[in-house]
């Protein structure tokens, strides 16, 4: 008798649980473009396809990361705290490029004018190479930038270095543009 009541209670609780779960997961409908006001529809592909252009929508960008318009081929600012600028490195190199020396000199001027600030130089690499190799290369890049700043007169005790290797990419593409953006030293205020 007790066993029958127990089985009945279990069956009722299972049925109740199932009923509650299935009724709580109702479908929600998303309005189609035809239901949206005309000012929220836009042809973004040139093929008659409409998309929401509500507040906060950015420019339409190509999906293919291998294509970069020539006028957009510029160095981005990485994770560096402004007004300092990141420095970029050649593939498999840790020496400071001639076109990056002005950036380091500007960073040095900023640090000399703000003697209370300490920074960390974060060395980064592109995805090519082993993790171990890229960690070492990232450290050599950070050390190279630190040495350059020290030669400009910035106290080495104000500068820490850290390597992220390939672990913190700025861009996730598998093309030369993305790799070039990821081969950098970032200057982060502590």
pTM > 0.75: no
Q: Are 154 and 115 in contact (CB under 8 A)?
A: no
What's residue 89's pLDDT?
Answer: 96
Return the domain boundaries, the chain.
89-189
Give dist(CA 163, CA 143) in Å, integer.
10
Euclidean distance between CA atoms 51 and 40, whole angstroms:
8
Half-sphere exposure at residue 147, Cβ-oriented, CA atoms within 13 angstroms? 9
Residues 143 and 134: beta-carbon distance below 8 Å: no
Q: b/e per residue, 133-171, with b = 16+ CB within 10 A?
A: ebbbbbbbbbbbbbebbeeeebeeebbebebbbbeebbe
Strands (E), 29-79: 41-43, 50-52
Write out the chain's pLDDT in tens, 190 residues.
Answer: 666 666 766 666 666 665 555 555 444 444 444 444 545 545 444 445 444 444 554 555 444 444 334 333 334 477 888 889 999 999 999 999 999 999 999 999 999 999 999 999 999 999 999 999 999 999 999 999 999 999 999 999 999 999 999 999 999 999 999 999 999 999 999 8
Rounded CA-CA distance 155/119 in Å is 11
Residue whose tokens read 């035809």: 34
Architecture in CATH of 89-189: 2-Layer Sandwich (3.30)
């Amino acid at each position: 008798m007790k066993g029958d009541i127990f089985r009945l209670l279990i069956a009722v609780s299972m049925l109740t649980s199932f009923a509650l779960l299935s009724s709580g997961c109702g479908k929600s409908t998303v309005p189609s473009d035809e239901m949206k006001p005309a000012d929220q529809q836009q042809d973004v592909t040139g093929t008659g396809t409409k998309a929401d252009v509500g507040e906060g929508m950015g420019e339409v960008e190509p999906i293919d990361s291998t294509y970069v318009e020539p006028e957009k081929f510029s160095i981005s600012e990485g994770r560096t705290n402004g007004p300092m600028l990141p420095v970029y490195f050649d593939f498999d190199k840790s020496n400071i490029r001639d076109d990056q020396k002005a950036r380091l000199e500007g960073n040095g001027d900023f640090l000399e004018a703000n003697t209370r600030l300490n920074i960390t130089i974060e060395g980064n690499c592109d995805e090519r190479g082993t993790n171990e190799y890229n960690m070492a290369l990232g450290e050599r890049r950070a050390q190279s930038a630190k040495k350059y700043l020290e030669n400009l007169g910035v106290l080495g005790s104000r500068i820490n270095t850290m390597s992220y290797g390939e672990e913190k990419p700025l861009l996730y593409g598998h093309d030369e543009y993305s790799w070039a953006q990821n081969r950098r030293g970032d200057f982060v205020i502590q």
